[in-house]
Structure 1
């Protein structure tokens, strides 16, 4: 499938690139459907592709030893899935599952790392996104902790 610039602009990060960079990226991505419940990557599995969603929702889950899970973050058309690759990792520390059906641009990891090293603007865009994602994850952790404190406090007033 030929990817045109209009399609690439459906992902916020890719929309920030120049037309020359979008032309380079368009040959490295494939538009793929994603469906609710699809597991894109298991925890600790080697990542072969990264994803730039244009619709739908990707969910990062931390899998607990007891088999439970905790939501780390959700990623939509404002971001991409595959941050650990840019931090020197080869595996995804979380399970990635589709929470809302849609489409995404799938890019092989080797293309991402090549473009990340060759394009200063692409690198800067992704670094800013990673900073925003880390802030979002931190805020989620604080909110979850705060909610547990409120629940524990409320449980102390329960009459059994």
Structure 2
């Protein structure tokens, strides 16, 4: 199991805390391995654990009907799953699924609420984080109305690469269809278009970003808008690894 000294560097929210608050938070966490496709939260169910991803990342989706859902966000080592507990609401608003397996710092929800009372910097940081999350959710809600599938796919691939910290990652057609709220044939057409332009390589769900700058140009404006909100409120993000 990795030491907490590794985890301090691994999660940006924790790493930015003053030493006393950082150590207090870490003392109440366990380092766990998240497995691909594990469900960490369901809409309307009680939040029992809080996760600070290290080298894993989590997909956030909302149901559209009984058979369909759409992805509205991702949580990687820049953030936290379960921050809404600080609002006094212990019910999850979203479905949370592990999209990239790896390590995470896990804390019991009761301990998390107790720690919040004695860590003012953490409370302020999470308040800013929730503001950014709401702004990004609003952007995501508007995106499908104004942007074509190819541009939206480019955006989500960039977001995934940012959290995978690698130009190589795995996403199935079915998962991409959920992510974009379109049929699988729409994903095929969009992915083929990006591959024809030599921006990505896509085979049997294995994706490689070949041209990061080109993919950014192909993406809809929501990608840069979301990053601008994050940078202005939370501070500069680390540069992603290029393809």
Q: CA deviation at 1:44?
A: 1.3
Q: Which residue pairs with 1:153 in the alignment?
A: none
Q: Distance in 2 between matches of 1:44 and 1:105?
A: 23
More strand by share: 1
Q: CA deviation at 1:82?
A: 0.6
TM-score (norm 2): 0.57
Corresponding position of 1:103: 103
Q: What's the secondary structure of 1:24's corresponding residue?
A: helix
Note the C-alpha offset of 1:8.
2.0
State the match for 1:143 in structure 2.
143
| Aligned counterpart, 1:53 | 53
Moved runs in structure 1, 4+ residues, more than 4 A?
none
Offset of residue 108 of structure 1: 0.8
Aligned residue for 1:112, secondary structure, equals helix
Residues in 2 aligned to 1:2 and 1:77: alpha-carbon distance in whole angstroms: 15
- State the Cα deviation string for residues 46-84 of structure 1 (Å, max 9, x = none): 111010001121011102233200112101000000132
Q: Which has the higher contact order (CA 8 A, sep 6+)?
A: 1
Which ranges of structure 1 fall in alignment gaps of 5 or more residues?
A: 149-160
Match status 1:119 vs 2:119: yes
State which drifts further: 91-100 or 62-71.
Answer: 62-71
TM norm structure 1: 0.85
CA RMSD after TM alignment: 1.6
